């Protein structure tokens, strides 16, 4: 049974090293702070999701209209507000981005 114990011991050592790795690799880090989204980044994320939602809704409205699920008048009634909403969100995103870039110029970051 010695070999079994040896295997167990080796396993334990490997595992402990793996768990300790973040500390071993970086004993004196510049910052140990866990990234988190700043409030403005959270807002932009929410806007991005809103934008995607509005664009997807438009796409789906088009598709439903083409397949006959949505009548012409329903389509006309809904497409306007949806387009306006999407434009609104895109504008908000753009201005937010501009503000962000002015505050924190970061040539490496490309936000789509």
Site for other proteins, rule CB under 8 A: 1, 4-5, 7-8, 11-12, 15, 18-23, 26, 29, 31-37, 41-42, 44-46, 48-50, 52-53, 56-57, 60-61, 63-64, 66-71, 73-74, 78, 110-112
Length of the chain: 112
Q: Tell me how far, at minimum, the Cβ of 37 lies from other proteins, in Å.
A: 5
Closest CA to 78 of 48, 52, 54, 46: 54
CA distance linking residue 100 with residue 44, whole number of Å: 10
CB of 94 to other proteins, least distance (A): 15
Pick between residue 6 and residue 87 the one whose CB is nearest to other proteins: 6
For residue 49, the minimal CB distance to other proteins (Å) is 6
Shortest reach from residue 98's CB to other proteins, in Å: 15
Nearer to other proteins, 74 or 87 (CB): 74
Largest pairwise CA distance in the chain: 81
- DSSP label of 34: P
Residue 59's nearest CA partner among 79, 87, 73, 45 is 79
Which residue lies nearer to other proteins by CB, 23 or 91? Answer: 23
Q: Is 33 left (phi over 0), alpha (psi -120 to 50) or beta?
A: beta
């Amino acid at each position: 049974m010695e070999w079994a114990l040896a295997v167990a011991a080796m396993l334990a050592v490997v595992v402990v090293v793996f768990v300790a790795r973040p500390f071993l690799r970086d004993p004196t880090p510049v910052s140990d702070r866990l990234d988190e989204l700043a409030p403005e980044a959270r807002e932009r994320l929410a806007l991005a999701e809103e934008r995607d939602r509005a664009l997807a809704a438009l796409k789906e409205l088009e598709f439903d209209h083409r397949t006959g699920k949505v009548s012409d008048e329903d389509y006309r009634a809904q497409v306007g507000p949806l387009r306006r909403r999407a434009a609104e969100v895109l504008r908000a995103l753009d201005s937010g981005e501009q503000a962000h870039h002015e505050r924190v110029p970061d040539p490496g970051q490309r936000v789509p």
